[in-house]
């Protein structure tokens, strides 16, 4: 019921609501006819009530609102329309207890994201970035549709709660099909090339929602598929994917040290954080799943704030290249303060929610492989290194000669950054009390 309430808030005022409800009802009616489900049961179990679902819906509603608040200069109706539609699809995807409807909304979220990149991107390369995103994600997820139809036909149900308790023998080939769709969406290293391009070319709202929410669809989808297919029972494939995720996260943090574009640096850091989410979900232990959940929430808020800071800094100097940035501490001390706070959060400094997520993963990795714990430690160290490099490059040193006259942080910019920070503080306190 909590997810449903959040969904009603998110779609309030959206004129596309009627069409979406019609499509939602039509797909549900088809499922009832084809699979001969009981109608009353389907209505009662149409929405998911898990804690992770509620957190993801809250994150979707919050970041969709902050994306609009952070870009008040974009007042066109089409811009607000596509952000609202994207928020609607995300709420419905996270709330759906019907596995095929989850797939439909999972794929439908790509359309408004593509429209935001193409319509409000910065450079002509945005068309290539949009094509990369669509080719990677759609190609990887189409085989999943066939696997889901087969699974639903075998169990004569589309509801996740029924599929979880229905026995099903899964092969290694089917595990690869199910893995690929969501590991590309996360993304896992080696299938991540679409993400930096999409981030660099997307407008601020696109980057905020893409990093803050859309990547979490991959982690949430892995959990749903593990419930429906028992993926973790195939130990070899699970260990292989965990190893690639952790080593890929380490390589991604190394790549951050050689980036000159701020948005590309934050995008590659997201690949490293999503490696932690992948490992936590696939290890299928209580500590690992808790780590993945905490990391998804923490990364959703911190990465969105980092993209906000990159955009607000870009407005001051009209460049995203680190060699052209320096000395912002003396020019814009409040902006530098926020850079310091969110770089500390992004590097998982003590007292932050990101650190809690990384520490919770250690027991799960320890029980799987000691070498992966060493990789995790190296990744944490390098994460601190590139965040310190980012902060010092932007704020320390002599004032850049490319910095023109500009105003300090405006009220809506400060409000947006504070709104990103406050949930991190409150959720950290509640998470610590829960774990202890």
38, pLDDT greater than 50: no
Mean pLDDT value across residues 69-81: 84
What confidence category does residue 304 fall into, taking pLDDT thresholds of 50, 70 and 90?
A: very high
pLDDT at 10: 38
Q: Give which of 117, 112, 98 is closest to 31, Cα–Cα.
A: 98
pLDDT at 26: 38
If 0-12 CB within 10 Å is exposed, 13-18 middle and 19+ buried, where does residue 22 land? exposed
What confidence category does residue 35 fall into, taking pLDDT thresholds of 50, 70 and 90?
A: very low
pLDDT at 13: 38
Query: pLDDT tens across 122-160, in order?
Result: 777 888 888 888 888 888 888 888 888 888 888 888 888
Total domain count for the chain? 2
With beta carbons less than 8 A apart as the criterion, state whether 318 and 390 touch: no
Q: Give which of 220, 99, 107 is closest to 163, Cα–Cα.
A: 99
What confidence category does residue 433 fall into, taking pLDDT thresholds of 50, 70 and 90?
A: low
How does DSSP classify residue 400? P
Query: pLDDT tens across 307-356, in order?
Result: 999 999 998 888 889 988 888 898 899 999 999 999 999 998 888 889 88
Same domain assignment for residues 208 and 268: no
Q: What are the angstrom distances between the C-alpha of 365 and each of 166, 276, 290? A: 29, 10, 13
Count of residues making up the chain:
436
Distance CA 291, CA 300 (A): 14
435, pLDDT greater than 60: no
222, pLDDT greater than 60: yes
pLDDT at 154: 83
With beta carbons less than 8 A apart as the criterion, state whether 313 and 379 touch: no
Same domain assignment for residues 221 and 244: no
Same domain assignment for residues 268 and 366: yes
Give the end of a domain, one of 214, 233, 252. Answer: 233
Task: Pick the range with the lowest mean pLDDT from 221-235, 298-312, 390-404.
Answer: 221-235
Same domain assignment for residues 244 and 276: yes
Angle (nearest 5°) at CA 178 between 172 and 182: 140
Q: How far is CA 174 from the centre of its chain?
A: 25
The range of the structural domain enclosing residue 61 comes to 1-233
Query: What are the tokens at 257?
Result: 């040290």
Same domain assignment for residues 299 and 420: yes
Cβ neighbors of 127 (< 8 A, separation 6 or more) are: 118
Q: What percent of the chain has pLDDT over 90?
A: 36
Query: pLDDT tens across 277-298, in order?
Result: 999 988 878 888 889 999 999 9
Same domain assignment for residues 363 and 300: yes
Give the end of a domain, one of 197, 217, 233. Answer: 233
Q: What are the angstrom distances between the C-alpha of 135 and each of 140, 141, 180, 219? A: 8, 10, 13, 20
């Amino acid at each position: 019921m909590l997810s449903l309430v959040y969904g009603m808030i998110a779609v309030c005022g959206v004129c596309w609501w009627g069409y979406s409800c019609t499509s939602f009802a039509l797909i549900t009616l088809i499922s009832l006819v084809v699979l001969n489900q009981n109608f009353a049961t389907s209505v009662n179990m149409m929405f998911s009530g898990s804690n992770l679902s509620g957190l993801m819906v809250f994150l979707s509603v919050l970041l969709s609102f902050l994306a609009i608040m952070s870009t008040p200069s974009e007042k066109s109706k089409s811009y607000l329309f596509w952000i609202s539609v994207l928020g609607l699809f995300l709420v419905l995807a996270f709330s759906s207890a019907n596995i095929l409807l989850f797939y439909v909304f999972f794929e439908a979220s790509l359309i408004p994201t593509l429209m935001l990149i193409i319509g409000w991107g910065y450079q002509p390369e945005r068309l290539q970035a949009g094509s990369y995103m669509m080719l990677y994600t759609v190609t990887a997820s189409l085989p999943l549709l066939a696997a889901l139809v087969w699974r639903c036909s075998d169990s004569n149900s589309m509801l996740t709660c029924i599929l979880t308790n229905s026995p099903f023998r899964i092969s290694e080939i089917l595990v690869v099909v199910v893995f690929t769709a969501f590991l590309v969406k996360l993304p896992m290293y080696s299938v991540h090339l679409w993400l930096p391009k999409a981030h660099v070319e997307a407008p601020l709202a696109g980057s905020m929602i893409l990093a803050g929410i859309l990547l979490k669809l991959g982690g949430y989808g892995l959990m749903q598929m593990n419930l429906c297919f028992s993926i973790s029972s195939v130990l070899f494939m699970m260990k292989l994917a965990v190893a690639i995720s952790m080593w890929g996260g380490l390589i991604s943090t190394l790549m951050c040290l050689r980036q000159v574009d701020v948005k590309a640096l934050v995008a590659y850091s997201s690949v490293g954080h999503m490696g932690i989410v992948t490992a936590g979900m696939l290890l299928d232990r209580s500590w690992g799943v808790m780590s993945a959940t905490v990391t998804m929430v923490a990364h959703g808020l911190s990465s969105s704030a980092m993209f906000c800071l990159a955009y607000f800094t870009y407005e001051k100097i009209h460049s995203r290249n680190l060699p052209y940035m320096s000395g912002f501490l003396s020019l814009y001390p409040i902006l530098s303060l926020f850079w310091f706070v969110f770089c500390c959060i992004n590097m998982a400094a003590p007292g932050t929610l990101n650190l809690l997520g990384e520490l919770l993963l250690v027991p799960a990795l320890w029980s799987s492989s000691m070498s992966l714990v060493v990789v995790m430690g190296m990744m944490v160290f390098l994460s601190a290194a590139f965040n310190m490099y980012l902060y010092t490059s932007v704020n320390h040193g002599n004032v850049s000669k490319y910095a023109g006259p500009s105003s300090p942080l405006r009220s809506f910019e400060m409000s947006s950054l504070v709104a990103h920070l406050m949930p991190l503080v409150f959720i950290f306190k509640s998470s610590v009390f829960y774990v202890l």
